[in-house]
Amino acid sequence: MPLLPHGEGEAEGRVLRGLRLAVDLSIVILLVEVVGALFSRSLALTADAVHDLPDLLAFGVSWGALRGTERGVTAEATYGSHRLEVVASLANAGLILGSGLVFGYLGGRTILVGGSFAGPVNAVWLLAAAVPTLVLRAVNLGVLGRIPGRVRDLNLRSVVVHLASDVVITGALLVAGGILLLRPGFHWVDDAAALAIAVVLVAESLPLFRDAWDVLGERIPRGILVGDVVKTALSVPGVAEVHDVHVWSLCPTLVCMTAHVSVRNMSVEEWGAVAATLRGRMESEYGILHAVFEVEAAPSPPRGPLDA
């Protein structure tokens, strides 16, 4: 597997293996929940089982997007294929939002109309599906959650957020199953759990849309201020002025910047050392992995009468 430039290949192997695990475990979870939904007649479990299909597609798209970046730089794509990761995140967010809206409608409608979704809920089957689902999702989240934060791109963060909300959803299933086991006549509990699941799905989709829009709109990454970047650059010995500063992201693992830097009279070798220091400070303090500086000569101070 070729390494990608600018440091974003640092944990690519772990990310791809983690996403592949997410796909494999999601297939098992889907089978478990389909059987459980069939025999339990639970709307909440049905919602989660159907939600597993977007999960599978989302994880697969995420895995494919990262595989696509392996091409790296080509003559046609001089920055590689990093925007595929943002597209994958948008697809993920859309699938989550769509699932939430559909089952929010079904859960709310069933509560208002009364009765149950498909007959009395069998709490034993509901719990029999929810318990192994919780274990598998916790394993999945643990593997992806241990990947260092610095290399969690927007695409991977969308998957981690997705898995974290799935764990919460499974908790809601367990609560509903426990109540129905003790109070079989409380059919509304299952509908309420389905409605709660829908709310979680809608809520988790919104930050993903926002973050993807930030990248596509070429906004400065959250947590970075241009003023701070300029102050850091000015603190490097030899730098007199910094202007025309631009900071943006191709994807959250590849933050880029350009700037015009005025330097005092120095040799090419000295400027090379200053530029290397600037790039090192930008990477270590702000995570900017691709920084380009255009050097300019600092204006000479005006000469007074005593300088003649």
Residues 62-108 have pLDDT tens digits of 676 666 665 666 666 666 666 777 777 788 788 888 888 988 888 88
pLDDT in tens, 199-212: 888 887 888 888 88
pLDDT in tens, 21-62: 878 888 999 999 999 999 998 888 988 888 787 777 767 766
The residues spanned by each domain of the chain are 5-216, 226-301
Q: In whole angstroms, what is the distance from residue 178 CA to residue 176 CA? A: 5
Residue 8 has a pLDDT of: 44
Helix (H) or strand (E) holding 105: helix 83-113
- Please indicate whether residue 287 or residue 11 has the higher confidence score (pLDDT): 287
From the list 65, 248, 82, 252, the residue with the least C-alpha distance to 152 is 252
Residue 51 has a pLDDT of: 78
The pLDDT confidence band at residue 134, using thresholds 50, 70 and 90, is: very high
3-state percent breakdown (helix, strand, coil) of the chain, nearest 5: 65, 10, 20
What fold characterizes domain 226-301?
A: Alpha-Beta Plaits (3.30.70)
User: Bridge partners of 263?
Assistant: 239, 297
CATH superfamily membership of 5-216 = Cation efflux protein transmembrane domain (1.20.1510.10)
Q: What is the pTM of this model?
A: 0.69
Query: Is residue 304's pLDDT more than 80?
Result: no
